[in-house]
Amino acid sequence: MSFLRSTFKVILHPIFIFVTSQMVWISIAILWVHWFVNAREVIEVMRSSLPLAIESHITITALVVGCILLGMLLVGSIWIFVVSQRQTVSLRQQQAFVSSVTHELRSPLASLKLMIETAETRRLSHDLQAQMLSMAKIDIERLLRLVNQVLLSSRLDRGVEDFSKTAEILNLKTILIQSTERAAWLDPSIQERVEMKCDDDIFVHASINALILIFGNIIENAVKYSPAGTPIKISVEKNQTSIRTTITDQGFGIRSQDMKRIFRLFQRGNIAISKALPGTGVGLFLVKSVTKILGGKVEVSSLGEGFGSSFLVEIPWKGPLHE
């Protein structure tokens, strides 16, 4: 029974149907040409015996035109197939995105609702009220960050985001500290976990939002996908042409087949999905897109599941004039 079910599943798969239908088309065309070549002598005899003359160039033209039309049909059907496959992938991405964003929205919303209902039903001390306001502010910032990331991903996807207008000379160490602070909502003890090696005199010419977005997302991922308390190492090297920042964690790692996938919009690594870890599949897409806009590149390496991961962000250094 299960064999029959799996056989039906294979037969009804769009790729199987497409390949089979193309093979049928091509076979018909080959048989037709084969028949035409073999029957040519018969056609010649018929032509000579018929009172109405059949011009030989007409039959050759018919063959050529027929082949061209079949070729056009083949190309057209391949194109339709490719487009429909793209749409299917896009639909799956959208569904994955809606599912993950909905999930990411629910937690801060639940927290805010809980605080409001608590304030409505209980008499709270001033200290507790102040603490709740502070927590509510963090939840709202978290929601805002999520909404902004989704909107930014859409602008980057359409190629309409421009960071050059807000570029300025910035101290990289300060940016890395600010990026680390951004992840404090995930782990209040983040400062104790981060081991930073960065000279005080490294400056870059870029938009502060762009840099915090790049490093903040990578550091947030390092926190999200690592056991609590494990170190996160940040090291910076500068050479004649570029500044290389490496962020290494001792987390769940990334499988080799996911190395490219995780940088695509709404795509997440299999380990993150199987462990049901929170995330939207937007962060690393933003990291890659923004790094590219700055003229740099981002690379990831991991020895596999359970061995942590390392992100290298390389951005161009345009010389001491900027300092």
Residue with Cβ nearer another protein (91 or 114): 114
186-271-307 Cα angle (round to 5): 80
In the block, residue with structure tokens 């782990």: 187
Query: Exactly one of 97, 101, 115, 172 binds another protein (CB under 8 A); which one?
Result: 115
Beta strands per DSSP E along the chain: 167-171, 194-197, 203-207, 232-238, 242-249, 297-301, 310-316
Query: Exactly one of 29, 33, 135, 259 binds another protein (CB under 8 A); which one?
Result: 135
Q: Is 139 in the site for another protein (CB under 8 A)?
A: yes
> Rounded distance, CA 136 to CA 115, Å?
8
| Two tokens, residue 101 | 């964003």
Residues in the chain: 323
Stretch that binds another protein, among 5-13, 26-34, 149-157, 270-278 (CB under 8 A): 270-278
Q: Three-state DSSP class for 182?
A: helix
Stretch that binds another protein, among 12-20, 134-142, 164-172, 210-218 (CB under 8 A): 134-142
Query: Exactly one of 68, 75, 128, 140 binds another protein (CB under 8 A); which one?
Result: 128
Amino acid at 118: T
Q: Is 33 in the site for another protein (CB under 8 A)?
A: no
Query: Exactly one of 42, 58, 160, 228 binds another protein (CB under 8 A); which one?
Result: 228
Question: Nearest distance from residue 106's CB to another protein, in Å?
Answer: 4
Residue with Cβ nearer another protein (99 or 256): 99
Nearest to 215 by CA among 154, 317, 286: 286
> Rounded distance, CA 20 to CA 125, Å?
73
Q: Is 121 in the site for another protein (CB under 8 A)?
A: yes
51 burial type by CB count under 10 A (0-12 exposed, 13-18 middle, 19+ buried): exposed
Residue with Cβ nearer another protein (96 or 312): 96
Interface pattern 159-198 for another protein (x via CB under 8 A): -----------------------------x----------
Residues 6+ apart with CB under 8 A from 255: 269, 270, 271, 302, 304, 305
Residue with Cβ nearer another protein (135 or 259): 135
Stretch that binds another protein, among 8-16, 112-120, 284-292, 308-316 (CB under 8 A): 112-120
Nearest to 93 by CA among 266, 322, 224, 226: 266
| Two tokens, residue 256 | 């080799």
Amino acid at 216: G
> Rounded distance, CA 276 to CA 20, Å?
38
Interface pattern 277-306 for another protein (x via CB under 8 A): xx----------------------------
- Subset of 80-109 contacting another protein (CB under 8 A): 99, 102-103, 106-109
Residue with Cβ nearer another protein (112 or 196): 112
| Two tokens, residue 300 | 């990831």
Query: Exactly one of 1, 49, 52, 122 binds another protein (CB under 8 A); which one?
Result: 122
- Using only C-alpha atoms, the chain has a radius of gyration, in whole angstroms, of 30
Question: Nearest distance from residue 188's CB to another protein, in Å?
Answer: 8
Where along the sequence are the contacts to another protein (CB under 8 A)?
99, 102-103, 106-115, 117-118, 121-122, 128, 132, 135, 138-139, 188, 227-228, 275-278
